[in-house]
Structure 1
Amino acid sequence: FAQAVGRFVRSRRRGETASVFLPTVPDLLGHANALELERDHVLDKPKKNGEEDPYAESEKEMDEANKEQDEDTGEQEEFSFEA
C-alpha cells in the first residue's frame, strides 16, 4: 500500500496539492492517515489543527450539511426511525 501510494503522492510545496482517491473503508483510510503522519514526522512538518482526528473536519462539515437539510425539509420530525 505504501509503495503504491508513494508513487502518486509526494510532499509538495505550500499551496500545491496531490490527491489519491480512496474508497471510504475505515481501515484503509486509517492506514493512509498513519502513513501521512509518518511522512510528515520524517519531514519535520508542524501538526495542523484537527490532525489528531483525521475525520474531524469532514464529520463537522457533514453534521452541518445534515442539520441544514433537516431545517430545510423538516422531515426529521415527521418520521420515526427504528432499526
Structure 2
Amino acid sequence: MKQDDDPYLDTEGVAKQAGVATESVRIYLKRTRRRLRGGQALRPQDLPDADRTLGRSPVWRQSTIDAWLAARVGRGRPRSSSED
C-alpha cells in the first residue's frame, strides 16, 4: 500500500471517522496512554496509541483507525460513514 493510500488523521479526523467529538478522542488517547504507562495491555476497544507525532500532535494512519473502528463495531458502538 502506498503512503498516499493510507493518510494520517489528526484527532479531528479520527473524531469525524468515529462519529464522536474531538474532545472524546483526546480522552480516549489519555486512557490509552494511562493503560500503557501502567503496564496494561490495550483492549480491542481502546484507541491505539498514535502512529506518529507531528510537532506535538498525535496522528494515526487511516488503516490504524479503520481496524480500531472495526473492533468497536463488534462491541455494538455505531460507526459513522466515511462518506459523510
TM-score higher than 0.5 = no
Higher RCO (Cα < 8 Å, 6 or more apart)? 2
Which structure has greater strand proportion? Answer: 2
Question: Normalization by structure 2: what TM-score?
Answer: 0.30
The structure with the greater share of residues assigned to helix is 1
Q: TM-score, normalised by structure 1?
A: 0.30
CA radius of gyration, larger in: 1
